[in-house]
A = this chain, B = another copy of it.
Amino acid sequence: MEQVTLKSIASELGISITTASKALKNYPDVSPKTRKAVIDLARKLNYIPNSFAVNLRTKESKVIGLIIPEIVHYFFSNVVNAIIEYAEKKGYLIITLQSNESDKLEEKQIELLLNKRVDGILISLSNNRKDLSPIHKIVESGTPLVLFDKISKLINCSKVIINDRDAAYAATEHLINTGCKDIAHFRGPLNPQNSIDRFLGYKKALEDSKLHFDKSLVYTCEKVSFEEGYNFAKELHQSNKKVDAIFAITDLVAIGAITYFNEANVKIPEDISIIGFSNWFMASVISPSLSSVDQPGYEMGKKAIKLLLKEIKAIKKGKKIKHKTIVLPTNVIKRSSTRD
């Protein structure tokens, strides 16, 4: 079946397109009889007004665009759930775009959202985002923007984050306080700020405890995957380097390492302590259960959407906006993969 247009409705009723359009918009200069005829026919033919007309009428799309690097991620799933839940209560729909950590795809998605004239945009940046001009473009377009988790400090907008450096410091400190001295780090990629900050927190904790920082104990996970955790644990084990603990960039990587050590009959935490990051629910299910840093994904999503809707409202009222950066607290969850 072809898509029904206003033109076809008008021509079927023998009236002008303008009259048909006015009838659907409830303009007073159309007779009740004509209005009824147009509405009845539009219903019968299942006419869908185009989004431009709808936008023009309401001046709002009631749609928020959300771009995240990946949704398979437990942390982002919690963020997305919180955002959808809160937005729905306030009458907004969320369209989610997954950049798959590709800055090129992310750029196309930003363009799409701006073209669709969404009321606001939420982004957690892809790991490969170096050129910030597409993000600046959002700000310049006047579309409210809130960045969360993976952000750039150089963008003039509101942000919701955790303090990755402090959180990583606390995780490493927990290893040191439980007697570990040769601590490896399975870090994230070199570009994203949160991966840099976690590395710096790890390094600072070593320095503050007068422990030697050995860069050969730092392994870089490009994909932050289970497999990388497994393979680096194997590499480390077979290298005969002196190591008594690992701080992993995420729980997924840590679980990969645990899986290898379980297979290789290396005792956790007696022979090696492991701590992850994000407190995925599987952390408490795995054997041994995984110590981790609790990263409040649900809370972060909720704060981000609340902040965005507040800014949308303020802009609509012509008020000036003062951008905010909200830093959420994290804490170390001690389980069986680290010593008492």
A15 — which chain B residues lie within 8 A by C-beta? none
A281 pairs with B226, CB closer than 8 A: yes
Flag whether A1 is at the interface (Cβ < 8 A): yes
Give Cα A71–Cα B117 distance, bound, in whole angstroms: 25
A49 — which chain B residues lie within 8 A by C-beta? 115
Flag whether A140 is at the interface (Cβ < 8 A): yes
Flag whether A147 is at the interface (Cβ < 8 A): no
Contact A71 to B77, CB < 8 A, known contacts A46-B141, A117-B51, A285-B286:
yes
Give Cα A286–Cα B93 distance, bound, in whole angstroms: 37
Residue from B93, B255, B287 within 8 A of A262 (CB atoms): B287
B72 pairs with A3, CB closer than 8 A: no
Interface centre among A1, A48, A286 (most CB of B within 10 A): A48
Contact A95 to B93, CB < 8 A, known contacts A142-B3, A285-B255, A285-B259:
no
Interface string of A78-103 (1 = CB under 8 A from B): 10110011001000011111101000
Give Cα A48–Cα B117 distance, bound, in whole angstroms: 9
Give Cα A197–Cα B74 distance, bound, in whole angstroms: 29
Residue from B93, B100, B142, B262 within 8 A of A112 (CB atoms): B93
Contact A81 to B72, CB < 8 A, known contacts A48-B114, A140-B46:
yes
Cβ-closest chain B residue relative to A71: B71
Q: How far is the CB of A319 from the nearest CB of chain B, in Å? A: 14
A63 pairs with B112, CB closer than 8 A: yes
Contact A80 to B85, CB < 8 A, known contacts A50-B115, A285-B286:
no
- Report the 3 A-B pairs with minimum CB-CB distance, sorted nearest first: A52-B52, A72-B77, A95-B95
Give Cα A96–Cα B83 distance, bound, in whole angstroms: 14
Give Cα A108–Cα B94 distance, bound, in whole angstroms: 11
* 6 more CB-based (< 8 A) A-B contacts, given A51-B116, A80-B98, A259-B285: A46-B137, A50-B115, A51-B117, A71-B96, A72-B74, A226-B285
